[in-house]
Structure 1
Amino acid sequence: MWTPGTWMWRAAVCCVLLETLTHTARGLNMCMSGSATSCEECLLIHPSCAWCAQEDFGRGRTLTSRCDFSQNLQKRGCAARFIEYPTSSISILQNRPLSSKGSGSTQYDVVQIMPQKISLSLRPGDQTWFGLQVRQVEDYPVDLYYLMDLSLSMKDDLDTIRNLGTKLAQEMGKLTSNFRLGFGSFVDKNMSPFSYTAPKYQENPCNGYKLFPNCVPTFGFRHILSLTDKVDRFNEEVQKQMVSRNRDAPEGGFDAILQAAVCKDEIGWRKEAYHLLVFATDDVPHLALDGRLGGLVQPHDGMCHLNDKNEYSASTKMDYPSLALLGEKLAENNIFLIFAVTKRLYVIYKNFTALIPGTTVEILDQDSKNVIQLIITAYNNIRSKVELTVWDHPEDISLSFTATCQDGKPLPGLRKCADLKIGDTVSFNVSVEARSCPPRGTDQSFTIKPVGFKDRLEVAVDYQCDCGCSRIAQTNSSICSSIGTYNCGTCQCEPGYLGARCECQEGEASSMHLSACREAEGKQICSGRGECSCNQCLCYESEFGKIYGSFCECDDFSCARHKGILCSGHGECHCGECKCHAGYIGDNCNCSTETSSCISDDGQMCSGRGNCVCGRCQCTEPGAFGDTCEKCPTCPDACGTKRECIECRLFNSGRIADNQTCQRLCKDEIITVETLKTDDPGAVLCLYKTDNDCVMKFTYSEHVSGLSILAALQEPECGGGPDALTVLLAVVGSILLVGVVLLAVWKLVITIHDRREFARFQSARSRARYEMASNPLYKQPVSTHFVETDFNMYGKSYNGGVH
């Protein structure tokens, strides 16, 4: 049944153990570093710290810490029965099983949360877990109180709900067999500026209003019908109601909600039922501080103020309630508030639901025609979710929730499940941690309850802040020289006495005598790492190592480290200084004096290209690398070094032609090729002249395996000397040939130029002839004129012309 809580609890225990081991592995012992002087102080350092109350524990020159991890104390000789190590625990006091149905005559026995009572014993800083289950049972009783706005704008809504009771009872009967219905109404405070206060409006605020001339006097809240299963009574009372009228747009609905919530006896809320409060309005509410507009400066006291007429009597005496007060009273009385508002107000009231737990909002039609379906929908929404709240939460206790809903997947940080069906069971795991210890004798408790449920889980809290050995403290104990109290292995001396066994008087430990515990004037007593007891230093014990010396000035753990290892593992720490083993030097003994690893194959130190530092070669020649700087493709003498290997390996000649010497020094791979590839960027081309004036070529490159690769021609390149006469004739012929070519080119350029000039001349001459033939000023050398004459011949007259 408690599997979720069990595995979470085990996980928490494992986390504490893992944290303890981690701190120990890192050498960080927070228990000893805290320098606790009493068992209670030790327990407050960390939940993994324990105290050894054994009398003879840690006697001697070293002041042994009694506060440490439990396993460390046992290793150092503390018997298990003397170790004070309290842990957090859980005790289940009442665990009645969950109910399946809510109908029947034993409604008070219906259980919807399990367990009902537990007791926690908490050690500060120690996290523990417990689980709880919640189930919404079927056929659970329902009390519904309908709170309606009866301002003038709601007149058509009042006409609609006159027969609401019968229809609502029929629909709710499908969900529960035990349903009760009540009714109340509200308008606003009957005072200026919220309502009309002139004498003519006192009896009839609608006086002079033509559309609705008759209204009842303005009122704040009026309780009309207590919760009853006689739905006909609801219809009768609603039919008697008349609307009223206020002056400003906001209504006094929050006054009415608070009174409906806190006046439990008058309203008739049952403890064993779901409490639904339906709030129907078509406008926004007045909020806290709005009452100051009418001179109301007294905050609402959250109490019931119904007079003998069941009307809110403090309407004109106190301010409107705040959202916080409203949410507190609704949750305190397990009331689900349903805002039934028009569409234009939906966003405003939706924002209110985020501030008031257990509240929903639904859209109401202008004339409330959908009010029944609205209530059914809101009821189903309420029954489809479970949300936990915490009451009377102590400030020094932190809580965190993990919800496990219907899908079975844990949801850390959530205390709510939604989309549930009636009868579904959900689980919650609650992490509890006490941050501190309250004053002695303080009883702490808190309550966890689902929103709107009467069921709750009551949690009593006890703190593990005291040690069991403190209950048997011995006053004037002989262990403490009869002048102190022996408590948990230590002596608490009377005033005027000091020492581990109260063996010294205060005068003996004066400043003059305390100087015996100082290494020099101005330094700390016992170097700050011990206590001066009876003129001698008792050094503290450290998890890191041993503290010693007449003034606790020495230790074996404060020396230099290399890669986290004290003195590099090649020396011993003595009073803060590394004493290196043979063959090592340096402040942290990380430097080896051996040079054998720096000798290269040719017998040189680092191949002559570097220095041997701390047993390793540091190459100084650019481009050199390798354990002994033996690899250096770009070094000036690389070709010369590899030439000797080519000679001895391929031609059995040269300085190291001796077979043993050649094999020892020339371990590179040598291959012979017909043609060298010189396009390899990682290869160096080498060549040298042989004794017979031939040229030997080879390439040198480093392989990924670390060996060098030498690629050499199969045979040196040899050739005869050139003929001097041939060379001379070739040079002279070349010069003549170049001269002839230049003359030919010059002649060709001149010819082309002349031809271009002649063509240009011809073109100019043709153009001149054409222009002369078409000149309008030019005249022919021969001209013709006509002359007219008249003469008479034979009596006839003739007219003629002469050219």
Structure 2
Amino acid sequence: MCSPGTWMWRAALCCALLETLLHTARGLNMCMSGSATSCEECLLIHPSCAWCAQEDFGRGRTLTSRCDFKQNLHKRGCDPLFIEFPSSSVSILQNMPLSDKGSGATQYDVVQIMPQSISLSLRPGEQTWFGLQVRQVEDYPVDLYYLMDLSLSMKDDLDTIRNLGTKLAQEMGKLTSNFRLGFGSFVDKNISPFSYTAPKYQENPCSGYKPFPNCVPTFGFRNILSLTDKVDRFNEEVQKQMVSRNRDAPEGGFDAILQAAVCKTEIGWRKEAYHLLVFTTDDVPHLALDGRLGGLVQPHDGKCHLNEKNEYSASTEMDYPSLALLGEKLAENNIFLIFAVTKRFYVIYKNFTALIPGTTVEILDQDSKNVIQLIVAAYNNIRSKVELSVWDHPEDISLSFTATCQDGKPLPGLRKCADLKIGDTVSFNVSVEARSCPPRGTDQSFTIRPVGFKDRLEVSVDYQCDCDCSKKAQTNSSICSSIGTYNCGKCQCEPGYLGARCECQEGDTSSMYLSACREAEGKQICSGRGECSCNQCLCFKSEFGKIYGSYCECDDFSCARHKGILCSGHGECHCGECKCHAGFVGDNCNCSTETSTCVSDDGQMCSGRGNCVCGRCQCIEPGAFGDTCEKCPTCPDACGTKRECIECRLFNSGRLADNQTCQRLCKDEIITVETLKMDEPGAVLCLLKTDNDCVMKFTYSEHVSGQSVLTALKEPECGGGPDAMMVLLAVVGSILLVGVVLLAVWKTVITVHDRREFARFQSARSRARYEMASNPLYKQPVSTHFVETDFSMYGKSYNGVVH
């Protein structure tokens, strides 16, 4: 009900007081309604319950229960000296300060977790808290063992890594001054059907194989070079190696990983170093039970089986190891496993990392060209996070974690921090609750340690299950009529006797006693589930559980169930009500308060698209699905979310490229193509502009298996930068062109207009019918007048016209 914080001791008091007040407000007093007949039974009912060991407490009163809330006992007259009320506590036994650097120090000098040892005193049902801090020191020693698949398909990879040692040492030298390198190889079990077993293939499995006719015999695992700081030896040994050939596609890699992990002396693992195991292959591994195909029915024993030749001698005797065994041995020996596999099998090995703590997976080029960058990136990824693991966890102790990472914000339910830099200090608050008391004399302890660290916090546990007053018990006490034991203020009568002082014998009944056996007037005697004897109810036995209470009104089997399980198996039934263990709530305790399962890889609760209910995400964003609502192709921000993964994975740019979170946050499979297909059902097309004004195109889809797939163009579509002179010439040319066009248009309009006017003139002219002589406006230049004359010439008369 109260969450832990830095104020943990005040929080413990706050929680106890608040819970007591809540129960009181509800009218529920689980202490008095319980079945406590002794101080120890009272303490187990609830951490708020206390016991009064005062002899005369409650004498003469109707309510005589010695088990009650502490404040109630005090109000009812119990002297505080007689109140038994133990509480949980934490004692720090060893608290050395955290180290800053790892160079020049021994394994006993470097401290990466604080404190180193504490002692818990736990009262069942009561929560208490303790804190711890973790820091990854600078320049810490590193042991790297390179485990390589030497099957025939890895021949080109073998050629590539022949000078790997020197180059790798140079790169790792930038990260640590104390680096050692080793080399091992594997193929598969040399039995049918995993390998060629015919006599002609025993010495040369490649016999008759034309592309590559010569190779070495098949082997399971071979430790070629133990860890050494002489990296030239690595190159020398790799130069000598030849590939082999097996029959089926899967390899015996898990056999090799287990031997490399458990053969600590032969491999040369140092206690004071980080242990990196790089596993390179281009195919899937054989798993447990595959060995039965070859008649191997004996499970792997998890032990080292290297012979004098440094070869795995039990390869043909035992089955392949299981994932559980592999994870256990890697964690036990503080080994970080790095799967370096080809892109084709990335998803398969990615699923393995979820089952094997402390493992990562990287994509290996077909010829292992990128193996150095891959190892350095994986190492940086490992050093950028801290995750706590719990070892030898007692079943009756409940633990919950609250992480406070570099941003200082508490993250309830989380036990890991990511995006760290070397030297960053992170802290964790751990809530502890004991659910029951172990048998007396049983010592309990557990260990908390960061995954892959040698440093650890040792936690020893003792239980507050006994009352101090029980140490003063008196047998055959006169207070108990000499027929009982006086213990913690109460008589424990011999069989056959009852009463506060053992003054009655069983079977004594009278009417005056019957009223004391009814909870209220009109109610059944002893609730119908017991008989009244000597003013007390003796409850019947039931095959379903225990019936108890002053009036037999309570039992431990009538509480709510979930799937047929009482209180869902996560609580205790007290008088009809489930008292849930830490981490569970609800009427039937079926709802988990753990939120770590709802936190997505980016640190958001349900990816910001849902609510965490009972430890599971309920997605509220339309189209969102997945365990943490992380899948949502139709969400408005789907393209924007995946854009950063495209940028960092393909182009090593963007926000995620600088803080080493690309591999952690971007787990989707990315396929690069020359052209995008837009007809894929359910695929969302994303078009985003990059920083250099290019257009990035990709599609986002979800396969039936739940795996997100991003299909992107190999290169963004980028246009060339504009030429200033060309732009100027284009502008000038455009202006001239527009001017010419406008002139041409103007000339065309004028020409058309003139032609139309001329045509109109011609039409009018053709319609005129005037003759030149009859033109009224025309006057001839010569005038003609008629003059009458009369003259005679030579005796004749004439009339003439004068012009």
Q: Is the 8 A contact 2:703 2:709 kept in 1?
A: yes
Shift of the 792–487 alpha-carbon distance from structure 1 to 2, 3 Å rule, reads farther
Q: Which moved more, 1:488-497 or 1:269-278?
A: 488-497
Structure 1 position 506, deviation (Å): 3.7
Shift of the 191–593 alpha-carbon distance from structure 1 to 2, 3 Å rule, reads closer
Q: Give me the whole-angstrom Cα distance separating, in 1, the residues matched to 2:274 and 2:313.
A: 28
Structure 1 position 513, deviation (Å): 9.4
Structure 1 position 193, deviation (Å): 0.5
Shift of the 514–370 alpha-carbon distance from structure 1 to 2, 3 Å rule, reads same
Shift of the 56–203 alpha-carbon distance from structure 1 to 2, 3 Å rule, reads same
Structure 1 position 353, deviation (Å): 0.8
Q: Residue deviations 1:151-175, cap 9 Å, x none? A: 0111111111111111111111111
Shift of the 196–110 alpha-carbon distance from structure 1 to 2, 3 Å rule, reads same
Q: Secondary structure of 1:284's match? A: coil
Q: Is the 8 A contact 2:396 2:436 kept in 1?
A: yes
Shift of the 743–117 alpha-carbon distance from structure 1 to 2, 3 Å rule, reads closer
Shift of the 519–44 alpha-carbon distance from structure 1 to 2, 3 Å rule, reads closer
Partner of 2:611: 611
Q: Which moved more, 1:243-252 or 1:638-647?
A: 638-647
Q: Secondary structure of 2:735's match? A: helix
Q: Which moved more, 1:560-569 or 1:195-204?
A: 560-569
Shift of the 783–403 alpha-carbon distance from structure 1 to 2, 3 Å rule, reads same
Structure 1 position 505, deviation (Å): 3.3
Partner of 2:274: 274
Shift of the 67–677 alpha-carbon distance from structure 1 to 2, 3 Å rule, reads same
Partner of 1:764: 764
The TM-score, its normalising length taken from structure 2, stands at 0.65
Shift of the 268–768 alpha-carbon distance from structure 1 to 2, 3 Å rule, reads closer
Structure 1 position 625, deviation (Å): 56
Q: Residue deviations 1:8-47, cap 9 Å, x none? A: 3422321221111122223221111114211111111111
Q: Which moved more, 1:775-784 or 1:648-657?
A: 648-657
Q: Is the 8 A contact 1:5 1:131 kept in 2?
A: no
Q: Is the 8 A contact 1:32 1:542 kept in 2?
A: no
Structure 1 position 323, deviation (Å): 0.9
Shift of the 754–560 alpha-carbon distance from structure 1 to 2, 3 Å rule, reads farther
Q: Which moved more, 1:675-684 or 1:194-203?
A: 675-684
Q: Is the 8 A contact 1:274 1:452 kept in 2?
A: yes
Q: Residue deviations 1:155-204, cap 9 Å, x none? A: 11111111111111111111111111111000000000100000000000
- Computing the radius of gyration from Cα coordinates, the structure with the larger value is 1
Q: Which moved more, 1:118-127 or 1:738-747?
A: 738-747
Q: Give me the whole-angstrom Cα distance separating, in 2, the residues matched to 1:483 and 1:593.
A: 50
Q: Is the 8 A contact 1:181 1:228 kept in 2?
A: yes
Partner of 1:457: 457
Q: Residue deviations 1:530-582, cap 9 Å, x none? A: 99564689999999999999999999999999999999999999999999999
Structure 1 position 106, deviation (Å): 2.7
Structure 1 position 367, deviation (Å): 1.2
Structure 1 position 792, deviation (Å): 73
Q: Is the 8 A contact 1:30 1:46 kept in 2?
A: yes
Q: Is the 8 A contact 1:65 1:541 kept in 2?
A: no
Q: Residue deviations 1:339-385, cap 9 Å, x none? A: 11111111111111111111011111111111111111110000000
Confirm or deny that 1:492 pairs with 2:502: no
Q: Is the 8 A contact 1:147 1:186 kept in 2?
A: yes
Q: Is the 8 A contact 2:34 2:548 kept in 1?
A: no
Q: Secondary structure of 1:787's match? A: strand
Partner of 1:747: 747
Q: Is the 8 A contact 1:118 1:459 kept in 2?
A: yes
Q: Which moved more, 1:256-265 or 1:391-400?
A: 391-400
Q: Is the 8 A contact 1:64 1:541 kept in 2?
A: no
Q: Which moved more, 1:553-562 or 1:645-654?
A: 645-654
Q: Is the 8 A contact 1:61 1:538 kept in 2?
A: no
Q: Which moved more, 1:135-144 or 1:342-351?
A: 342-351
Q: Is the 8 A contact 1:62 1:541 kept in 2?
A: no
Structure 1 position 307, deviation (Å): 0.9
Partner of 1:520: 520
Q: Is the 8 A contact 2:33 2:554 kept in 1?
A: no
Q: Residue deviations 1:369-404, cap 9 Å, x none? A: 111111111100000000111111111111111110
Shift of the 225–513 alpha-carbon distance from structure 1 to 2, 3 Å rule, reads same
Shift of the 787–292 alpha-carbon distance from structure 1 to 2, 3 Å rule, reads farther
Q: Give me the whole-angstrom Cα distance separating, in 2, the residues matched to 1:732 and 1:203.
A: 82
Shift of the 633–182 alpha-carbon distance from structure 1 to 2, 3 Å rule, reads closer
Q: Secondary structure of 1:65's match? A: coil
Q: Which moved more, 1:602-611 or 1:66-75?
A: 602-611
Give the 5 Å matches for 1:690-705. none
Q: Secondary structure of 1:491's match? A: strand
Q: C-alpha root-mean-square deviation of aligned residues, in Å?
A: 30.5
Shift of the 451–192 alpha-carbon distance from structure 1 to 2, 3 Å rule, reads same
Q: Give me the whole-angstrom Cα distance separating, in 2, the residues matched to 1:83 and 1:733.
A: 103
Query: Unaligned stretches of 5+ in structure 1?
Result: none
Q: Give me the whole-angstrom Cα distance separating, in 1, the residues matched to 2:371 and 2:722.
A: 122
Q: Is the 8 A contact 1:32 1:543 kept in 2?
A: no
Q: Secondary structure of 2:212's match? A: coil
Q: Residue deviations 1:207-265, cap 9 Å, x none? A: 01112111110000001111111111111111111110000111000000000000001
Structure 1 position 293, deviation (Å): 1.0
Q: Which moved more, 1:530-539 or 1:35-44?
A: 530-539
Q: Secondary structure of 1:705's match? A: coil
Shift of the 680–76 alpha-carbon distance from structure 1 to 2, 3 Å rule, reads farther
Q: Give me the whole-angstrom Cα distance separating, in 2, the residues matched to 1:359 and 1:651.
A: 25
Shift of the 339–596 alpha-carbon distance from structure 1 to 2, 3 Å rule, reads closer
Q: Give me the whole-angstrom Cα distance separating, in 2, the residues matched to 1:491 and 1:367.
A: 83
Q: Residue deviations 1:737-796, cap 9 Å, x none? A: 999999999999999999999999999999999999999999999999999999999999
Structure 1 position 495, deviation (Å): 2.3
Q: Residue deviations 1:264-309, cap 9 Å, x none? A: 0100100000000000111111111111111111111111111111
Q: Is the 8 A contact 1:53 1:82 kept in 2?
A: yes
Q: Residue deviations 1:27-84, cap 9 Å, x none? A: 2211111142111111111110100000000112625110111011011000001001
Shift of the 473–790 alpha-carbon distance from structure 1 to 2, 3 Å rule, reads farther
Q: Give me the whole-angstrom Cα distance separating, in 1, the residues matched to 2:15 and 2:292.
A: 56
Q: Is the 8 A contact 2:187 2:245 kept in 1?
A: yes
Partner of 1:97: 97
Q: Which moved more, 1:711-720 or 1:610-619?
A: 711-720
Q: Give me the whole-angstrom Cα distance separating, in 1, the residues matched to 2:232 and 2:645.
A: 120
Structure 1 position 422, deviation (Å): 0.3
Q: Is the 8 A contact 2:186 2:256 kept in 1?
A: yes
Q: Secondary structure of 2:297's match? A: coil
Structure 1 position 690, deviation (Å): 93
Q: Secondary structure of 1:30's match? A: coil
Q: Which moved more, 1:78-87 or 1:581-590?
A: 581-590
Q: Which moved more, 1:486-495 or 1:708-717?
A: 708-717
Q: Percent identity?
A: 92
Q: Give me the whole-angstrom Cα distance separating, in 2, the residues matched to 1:318 and 1:627.
A: 37
Q: Is the 8 A contact 1:120 1:461 kept in 2?
A: yes
Q: Is the 8 A contact 1:249 1:284 kept in 2?
A: yes
Shift of the 456–751 alpha-carbon distance from structure 1 to 2, 3 Å rule, reads closer
Shift of the 731–237 alpha-carbon distance from structure 1 to 2, 3 Å rule, reads closer
Q: Is the 8 A contact 1:63 1:540 kept in 2?
A: no
The count of residues paired between Structure 1 and Structure 2 equals: 803
Shift of the 587–167 alpha-carbon distance from structure 1 to 2, 3 Å rule, reads closer
Shift of the 798–524 alpha-carbon distance from structure 1 to 2, 3 Å rule, reads farther
The TM-score, its normalising length taken from structure 1, stands at 0.65
Shift of the 424–645 alpha-carbon distance from structure 1 to 2, 3 Å rule, reads closer
Q: Is the 8 A contact 1:537 1:550 kept in 2?
A: yes
Q: Give me the whole-angstrom Cα distance separating, in 2, the residues matched to 1:615 and 1:699.
A: 32
Shift of the 645–387 alpha-carbon distance from structure 1 to 2, 3 Å rule, reads closer
Q: Is the 8 A contact 1:790 1:799 kept in 2?
A: yes
Shift of the 731–617 alpha-carbon distance from structure 1 to 2, 3 Å rule, reads same
Q: Is the 8 A contact 1:277 1:336 kept in 2?
A: yes
Q: Residue deviations 1:116-137, cap 9 Å, x none? A: 1111111111111111100000
Partner of 1:181: 181
